[in-house]
Amino acid sequence: MSALAIDVHDLVKSFGAVKVVDGLSLQVPEGEICGFLGGNGSGKTTTIRMLCGLLRPDAGGGTCLGFDLLREPMRIREQIGYMTQRFSFYDDLTVAENLEFVARLYQLPDRAGAIAEVLHRMEMAPRAGQLARELSGGWKQRLALAACVLHRPRLLLLDEPTAGVDARARREFWDLIHEMSADGMTVLVSTHYMDEAERCKRVVYLAGGKLVVQGTAEEVVRDAGLTVFQATGPGIETAVRALRHTPGVETAAVFGDALRIAGKDHAALRAAIDALPPPALTWQEVPPRLDDVFIHLLTEQEAA
């Protein structure tokens, strides 16, 4: 079994009367890409900040990169890269100047060499002299990633890194993440995009500050116990409105020219379909997807 880059247990963090993280335990092997999922307010960002030593847990503990979470936070920070949700570099500096600033913070011995290497890896060398404020959203994210890996960290913590960028930029960003993982870097990434979660070796889902499910995307889908039916034909917009208020139907949504419904009670779903008025739709049972499971878990959380 691989050594653990992250091995924490029973983490608790409250802000006033609100318990944001509640008894969270998490293990991530070295070199793995782990997807961190959960609705807004589920505790993902707070957990990431505890892992990198920016927040001290109220209870619990463990290690990150072999260093004690409570006693050695500075040692942890030296060997991680942390990319926040919001672009946090200087708009009035060029790409190269921003990287020079970061290289000086880490006191890198060969700053010029490290900057040249990361610019080449991120395909940003032609933009080295461009002001950060002139970059598109996708290129800003590349600059942020370049700054995070400039000092060659062993662990990369990414907090919704591709929010607000286009599909092509997201794919190229993830290609870079996989290249770095292949070189041995461990990655913990929070995301709301299911196509990104499916690119992770393992996914972890949080709700109310607690770990609810974890495993490969295939395992999470299999173990959710969901039944999904899909329909095509005229009148799906009318049908979806009725189905959303039918007992046993947890979710009902239109995707293009198809209507999908999901729930855990197979018989109730079939009864809901049979009760629909004409015109009749063509229904078939289909395998659930990760986004079906994600919506199911959000629905359960809201009902709790």
What pLDDT sits at residue 218?
93
What pLDDT sits at residue 303?
66
Looking at the chain, the number of H-run helices and the number of E-run strands are 11, 14
Domain ranges (residues) in the chain? 4-216, 227-287
Tell me the pLDDT tens digit for each residue of 118-152. Answer: 999 999 999 999 999 999 988 999 999 999 999 99
Domain 227-287 in this protein, CATH class: alpha beta
> What are the tokens at 226?
């969901």
Q: Using N-to-C axis directions, what is the helix angle for 137-149 and 167-182, rounded to 10°?
A: 10
pTM of the model: 0.89
What pLDDT sits at residue 73?
93
* Residues of the chain under the 70 pLDDT cut: 1-2, 302-304
What pLDDT sits at residue 84?
87
What pLDDT sits at residue 41?
87
| CB 228 within 8 Å of CB 262 | yes
What pLDDT sits at residue 246?
93
What pLDDT sits at residue 220?
93
Architecture of domain 4-216: 3-Layer(aba) Sandwich (3.40)
Torsion of CA 198, 200, 206, 211, to 10 degrees: 120
The torsion angles phi and psi of 109, rounded to 5 degrees, stand at -70, -35
